[in-house]
Every structure is written in C-alpha cells, then in structure tokens.
Amino acid sequence: TASREQLRVRYGHIIVFLQKGPLVLVSASKSHQSELQLRSELLHVYHQIVSMLTQASINRIFQCRKNYDLRRLLFGSERVLDALLDVMETEAGFLLSAVQCLPLAPSTRDTISQILQKAITPNLVLSILLYNGQLVSIVQEKMVIEDARLKSTDLHLLLNLIRASSAFQTGEIWTPICLPCFNPDCYFYTYVAYLDPPDCTICLVLLSTDKDAFYAVAECKRKIEEGVRTHNALQCISKVQLCQVCHVGVAELRHFLFKPLDVPDHHSQLPQFTSPEVEAPYSTEEKRIYLMDLYWHLHSRIHSTLRPIKLLYHATQRETLLALVTGKFEMYACFSPLVTKSTAIGAVTKLLRWIKKEEDCLFIRSPPKYSTTPPEARGFSNSRVQTNKTLFGTI
C-alpha cells in the first residue's frame, strides 16, 4: 500500500498530496517544479497555518471534533495564504531557504544593530528591522540562539503574515504569532510598527514571550525610533542603492542568485543569499514567475536527492542558464541566449570577485546578540523542558 504522505499524479500538470497530522494539503501545478519542491511549498502553506493557529491547537481541535471546519478559525486569513502562494512563485528566498539583506555599509548596519541591541526589555527574544522585505538588522537573544536556531522559513512566514495584512500598516500592532520551525506549539507575542508612515517601507518587528509586555515592548520601539532619528538612519536606509546586475560587469548577464555556503556554524547566522533587482526582460509579474520557475528547475536538478550534480548549463532559444554548486557557494545565473560558453564561465569569476568586494555590505556576518534572560534563570541546561514552559507560555 502506498504511503499517504507522498502521493502524486503526473501528466503535464502535477498534483501533489501532503498529509500533516489531521490536515491534507493538495497542490495542482503546471510549473516546472519537481514533486519535492511542490511538496515543500505545501509544507510552507501548512506552516503558515500553524503560524496563525499553532500545531498543538490544530491537533487538539481535530482530536475533539473530527469534522471540524478549520475555515472557521482561518476566517480572514485567506489573503495571507494567497500572498504566500504568490510570493513563493516570485521570490528566491523560499527556493534557497535563505534571506536577503539590504546592501548596507557595515558602519550604518552596526549603528542600527547597536540601537536595537540597547532597546531591550525582559522576555524580548528577537528584534528585526526590515526595509521593503529585505533585512536591515536582526538581533537575537543569546539563550534563544543556544537552544534553537531561527530558520529562514520562520522569518519568511512572519514577513508574509505582516505584509499580507494591511492592518499591520496602521500604528502599532500586538499579536500572537507562532514560529513553526522554531516551536510549532506556542506563540510569540509580536510587536509590529512601521517607522516611516505613511510610506510604510521600514518595518520594526519585536518578539516577546510575555503576552502582557505590550507597553514595555512599545517603549523599546520608542527608544529605537529615537536612536534611529539621532543617527539619521532612516535616510541612510531609504537612500540605499540596491544591487543591479550591471555592477558585476558582464553584459550578457541578466540576473543571478548567489548563496554562500561556507559559513562557520558558530556564527549562527541565518542563511543568506544575494540577488540583483529583476530587470528587463523579466520585469513583468508574469516574467518574474517564469524566471523563478527556471531557477526552481535548475535547483531541483542540482540538488536531486539521488543524482545531484555539480554544474548545469542549459542553452535555449530564450536564455542560457548556468547553475553551479561548490563547497563554498551555490549560484544560478541567467544570461542572454547569445552568450558564449567562455563568457558564461568568465562571468562566474567576475561574479565571485564582485561578491568578495561587496560582501560586507551584502551579508550580515555575525548577528549581534543581547541578553534579556534574568541571571537566575541562566543555569537551566539541566531542566530545559521546565524552562521552556517558563520562557514560552502556551495558549
């Protein structure tokens, strides 16, 4: 008999089934994505639902009432799931399981990080500043990092939740959000505010484990706002020049994705990638989806579970694609179809050189940390489970 988790049907369209606990998710797709990739998309959808409800409560509900209609709890959140499906089609972060940082001079970034680092309150675990969805700075609580790593999926789902609801753009929001990969059974209490209304491009997100800490966390925001104003940081951020593919210096190069892999583990940073703005001929929504579909396909061949490969070069009438993975990085590049093989190979060298030159701006190498755990609670390595209960309230 077949294992139900991995049932798929194929015929030009692919239909993929995924069962997680009491939920069955189905996807029908015409894209070039592989079954594994579609399954991971379904997993993201599942995780997004968990981010709103937590896994523990989903399981509990269905245990009590097998016929429960979960839509009752998900009412109003359809646009979050819709937005997720859209964003998975156009953004490389999901494909690469990595986040993209705003290219920022290290000094500016450090200044901002220090501002975040100082604006703390007990039970605050994560402070994030974003500009148009790209990471400006992220500061994490020390103990939290030791216990469990923040995954890029959690960050993507968090950002999607915030972006999908226009309600988040009005004033300050305090809401429970679950980080499913970190801990699927409990909520963090999330403070969200835009520092530049009404443009709403610079977003501050503060996560706490204490559901009654709204005022304390709002005070942190005030301190951050002050610090940011003092240093004129908002201007620096909005004036930033995003990466453009012409910076690399290869005429036929149209777009690329680059993810460094040689990050020492003790840096405990989020996996990151960099990629330039999407320009012609992929500037329309449709073309962006088309380009991402090409990347999805390259990725599935390169990372095939049974026959992974090191390099893939695919020349078609419309573009030439090159995918390369080494111990140090993985990259995906899209060239005009007229590019020669020597230019394409030469482009890799030029790209590596350019990345090396700019890497301090492109990546956050060592995310700063703060400590908000009271000193008494620090000796808890023996009784982790106990402490988890004190640190993280369950609903």
Partner 1 sequence: MASGMQEKQYTPSLLSFFIYNPKFGPREGEEEKKILFYHPSEVEKNEKIRNVGLCEAIVQFTRTFCPTKPAKSLHTQKNRQFFHEPEENFWMVMVVRNPMIEKPSKDGKPATIEYQEEEILDSVYGAVLRQCYSMYKLFNGTFSRAFEAGGVELLRQKLEKFFYRYLQTLHLQSCDLLDVFGGISFFPLDKMTYLKIQSFVNRVEESLSLVKYTAFLYNDQLIWSGLEQDDMRILYKYLTTSLFPRHTEPELAGRDSPLRPEVAGNLLHYGRFLTGPANLKDPEAKFRFPRIFVNTEDSYEELHLIVYKAMSAAVCFMINASVELTREFCEQLDALVGPQLTLLASDICEQYNINRRISGPEKEPQFKFIYFNHMNLAEKSTIHMRKTASVSLTSVHPDLMKILGDINCDFARVDEDEEIIVKAMTDYWVVGKKSDQRELYVILNQKNANLIEVNEEVKRLCATQDMTTLKTVSCSCFNDSISVMQ
User: Minimum distance from CB of 330 to partner 1 (Å)?
Assistant: 14
User: Minimum distance from CB of 335 to partner 1 (Å)?
Assistant: 13
User: Minimum distance from CB of 313 to partner 1 (Å)?
Assistant: 4
Q: Which is nearer to partner 1, 341 or 389 (CB)?
A: 341
Buried b (16+ CB within 10 A) or exposed e, 211-223: eebeebbeebbee
Axis crossing angle, helix 285-302 with helix 78-90, rounded to the nearest 10: 70
Beta strands in 195-270 (DSSP E): 202-208, 253-260
- Residue labelled with tokens 């835009």: 194
The first and second tokens of residue 104, run together, are 């920022």
Binding site for partner 1 (CB under 8 A): 1-3, 5-13, 15, 28, 32, 35, 297, 301, 304-317, 341-342, 344-345
User: Minimum distance from CB of 341 to partner 1 (Å)?
Assistant: 5
Burial of 160 (0-12, 13-18, 19+ CB in 10 A): buried
The first and second tokens of residue 281, run together, are 């001929």
Q: Which is nearer to partner 1, 62 or 313 (CB)?
A: 313
Q: Which is nearer to partner 1, 2 or 385 (CB)?
A: 2
User: Minimum distance from CB of 315 to partner 1 (Å)?
Assistant: 4
Strand, helix or coil at 348? helix
Q: Which is nearer to partner 1, 10 or 72 (CB)?
A: 10
User: Minimum distance from CB of 3 to partner 1 (Å)?
Assistant: 4
Q: Which is nearer to partner 1, 8 or 369 (CB)?
A: 8
Q: What is the enclosing helix (H) or strand (E) of 324?
A: strand 320-325
The CA distance from 220 to 198, in Å, is 21
Q: Which is nearer to partner 1, 129 or 344 (CB)?
A: 344
User: Minimum distance from CB of 306 to partner 1 (Å)?
Assistant: 4
Q: DSSP code of 42?
A: H
With vertex at residue 92, the alpha carbon angle to CA 90 and CA 97, rounded to the nearest 5 degrees, is 135
Q: Which is nearer to partner 1, 235 or 340 (CB)?
A: 340
Q: Which is nearer to partner 1, 39 or 47 (CB)?
A: 39
- Phi first, then psi, for residue 348 (nearest 5°) are -60, -45
β-pair partners for 96: none
The first and second tokens of residue 301, run together, are 């061949």
Contact 357, 128 (CB under 8 A): no
β-pair partners for 17: 26
User: Minimum distance from CB of 62 to partner 1 (Å)?
Assistant: 24
